């Protein structure tokens, strides 16, 4: 049995004071699972679930979502459904109703990979045990990434919510021992590179307080498409969050991110730029989808993801063009 201490934080300041080395506990749907498997072994748990971090607040320029708002609360919020249908759809496509009722926004941001080797203590895994190797490289890779991998890790990022937030260009607000700061969504998740054990751009002791999503015309006309092995409670083989602002028959602005294929939520600014000024038609969507998977590296079991990701992107853009 592994021992750990448990502390219920009385305030945000109290939680931040817990300092480096403490793991923050909210919904626990990911962290507790991984502790049971002994993949994550924090010596201190700081429970932040009862802090006042659950509000969803409309501001003149965007929506601020508290870190402890549950996935269900965010998905059902009228302003989320109206302003960011892609986010509501992405959340509802993930996990199960029971999990969504307790899983939080911050927990979803920090959800760990579903790589089977990461969860199996008997196999080599650089993410779990730096320097030990990567069993996936010569193993079963159907659920692994084709974009953003390195020679040390090709683990897939599993979140749906994060794909929508990447496309919407959210900003994450955190507080730590050195004060508050904002992290652009695209910088929050790190590529594995030489250090797959480092997954987030958080400094030791920093706590996520909220996520800000700016209002945009493309966000209001946005859709999420997820392709998976079964209709519910399954991770994406490929997914796409797409938003389009259309004026006078042309695309004025586009938002595009892929899921189920990258080591992090895979926003593709080059594909977004390629869509600008184009007619919202299949030929432009196919070109953007082609750009979106540029640089992909497939393996024996996941080569099918290239074409699947392209088709998923075309489908999401087509739905966005039709209107949310
Ligand atoms: Fe570990 Fe990453 Fe290799 Fe999976 S892909 S075994 S998480 S190093």
pLDDT of the residue at 18 = 86
Q: How far is CA 168 from CA 85, 175, 272, in A?
A: 11, 22, 12
Which atom of ligand 1 is closest in space to residue 144's alpha carbon?
5
Q: How far apart are CA 84 and CA 90, in angstroms?
A: 10
Report the separation in Å between the CA atom of 185 and the middle of ligand 1, taken as the mean of its atom positions: 23
Residue 274 belongs to a domain with what CATH number? 3.30.390.50
**Domain presence at residue 245:** yes
Report the separation in Å between the CA atom of 25 and the middle of ligand 1, taken as the mean of its atom positions: 24
Report the separation in Å between the CA atom of 257 and the middle of ligand 1, taken as the mean of its atom positions: 23
Which atom of ligand 1 is closest in space to residue 137's alpha carbon?
3
Report the separation in Å between the CA atom of 237 and the middle of ligand 1, taken as the mean of its atom positions: 17
Instruction: Provide the terminal-to-terminal Cα distance of the chain, rounded to the nearest Å.
Output: 51
**Domain presence at residue 246:** yes
Q: How far apart are CA 19 and CA 81, in angstroms?
A: 37
**Domain presence at residue 260:** yes
pLDDT of the residue at 20 = 78
Report the separation in Å between the CA atom of 298 and the middle of ligand 1, taken as the mean of its atom positions: 15
**Domain presence at residue 270:** yes
Query: For a pocket test of ligand 1, which of 34, 111, 117, 146 has the largest count of ligand atoms closer than 8 A to its C-beta?
Result: 117
pLDDT of the residue at 126 = 98
Q: How far apart are CA 254 and CA 277, in angstroms?
A: 10
Alpha helices, DSSP H, located in 168-303: 185-188, 217-220, 269-275, 282-292
Q: Report whether residue 145 contacts ligand 1, using a CB cutoff of 6 Å.
A: no
Residues 181, 182, 183: CA angle, nearest 5 degrees: 125
Cut 0.85: pTM above it? yes
pLDDT of the residue at 198 = 97
**Domain presence at residue 274:** yes
Report the separation in Å between the CA atom of 282 and the middle of ligand 1, taken as the mean of its atom positions: 37
pLDDT of the residue at 324 = 55
58 forms beta bridges with 63
Which atom of ligand 1 is closest in space to residue 115's alpha carbon?
4
What is the secondary structure of 40-75 as a DSSP string? ---SEEEE-TTSS---EEEETTEEEEETT-BHHHHH
Structure tokens at 248: 């006078």
Q: How far apart are CA 31 and CA 8, in angstroms?
A: 16
Report whether 167 contacts 242 (CB < 8 A): yes
Helices (H) and strands (E) in the chain, counts: 13, 12
**Domain presence at residue 242:** yes
Per-residue confidence of the chain (324 residues) as pLDDT tens digits? Answer: 789 999 999 999 999 998 777 999 999 999 999 999 999 999 999 999 999 999 999 999 999 999 999 999 999 999 999 999 999 999 999 999 999 999 999 999 999 999 999 999 999 999 999 999 999 999 999 999 999 999 999 999 999 999 999 999 999 999 999 999 999 999 999 999 999 999 999 999 999 999 999 999 999 999 999 999 999 999 999 999 999 999 999 999 999 999 999 999 999 999 999 999 999 999 999 999 999 999 999 999 999 999 999 999 999 999 999 985
Report the separation in Å between the CA atom of 292 and the middle of ligand 1, taken as the mean of its atom positions: 24
- CA atoms 19, 114, 102, 208: torsion sign: positive
Q: Report whether residue 68 contacts ligand 1, using a CB cutoff of 6 Å.
A: no
**Domain presence at residue 254:** yes
Report whether 148 contacts 266 (CB < 8 A): yes
Which atom of ligand 1 is closest in space to residue 124's alpha carbon?
6
Residues 23, 106, 6: CA angle, nearest 5 degrees: 25
Task: Tally the domains of the chain.
Answer: 1
Q: How far apart are CA 186 and CA 79, in angstroms?
A: 23
- 76 CB contacts (<8 Å, ≥6 apart)? 88
Q: Report whether residue 235 contacts ligand 1, using a CB cutoff of 6 Å.
A: no
- 285 CB contacts (<8 Å, ≥6 apart)? 275, 313, 314, 317, 318, 321
**Domain presence at residue 293:** yes
Question: Domain range spanning residue 311?
Answer: 233-322
């Amino acid at each position: 049995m592994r021992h750990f201490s448990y502390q219920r934080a009385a305030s945000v300041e109290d939680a931040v004071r817990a300092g480096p080395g403490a793991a923050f506990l909210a919904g626990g749907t990911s962290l507790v699972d991984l502790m049971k498997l002994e993949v994550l072994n924090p010596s201190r748990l700081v429970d932040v679930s009862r802090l006042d971090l659950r509000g969803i607040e409309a501001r003149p320029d965007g929506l601020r979502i508290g870190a402890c708002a549950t996935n269900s609360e965010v998905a059902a919020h009228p302003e989320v459904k109206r302003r960011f249908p892609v986010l509501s759809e992405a959340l509802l496509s993930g996990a199960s109703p029971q999990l969504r009722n307790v899983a939080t926004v911050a927990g979803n941001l920090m959800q760990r990979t579903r790589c089977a080797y990461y969860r199996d203590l008997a196999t080599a895994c650089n993410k779990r045990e730096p320097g030990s190797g990567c069993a996936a490289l010569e193993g079963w890779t159907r659920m692994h990434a084709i974009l953003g991998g390195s020679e040390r890790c090709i683990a897939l990022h599993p979140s749906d919510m994060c794909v929508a937030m990447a496309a919407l260009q959210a900003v994450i607000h955190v507080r730590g021992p050195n004060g508050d700061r904002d992290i652009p969504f695209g910088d929050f998740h790190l590529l594995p590179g030489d250090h797959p054990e480092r997954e987030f751009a958080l400094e030791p002791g920093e706590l996520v307080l909220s996520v800000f999503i700016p209002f945009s015309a493309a966000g209001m006309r946005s859709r999420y498409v997820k392709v998976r092995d079964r209709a519910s409670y399954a991770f994406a083989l490929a997914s796409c969050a797409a938003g389009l602002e259309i004026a006078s028959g042309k695309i004025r602005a586009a938002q595009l991110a892929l899921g189920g294929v990258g080591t992090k939520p895979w926003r593709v600014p080059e594909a977004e730029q390629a869509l600008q000024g184009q007619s919202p038609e299949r030929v432009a969507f196919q070109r953007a989808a082609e750009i979106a998977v540029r640089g992909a590296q497939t393996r024996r079991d996941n080569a099918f993801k290239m074409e699947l990701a392209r088709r998923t992107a075309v489908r999401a853009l087509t739905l966005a063009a039709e209107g949310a």
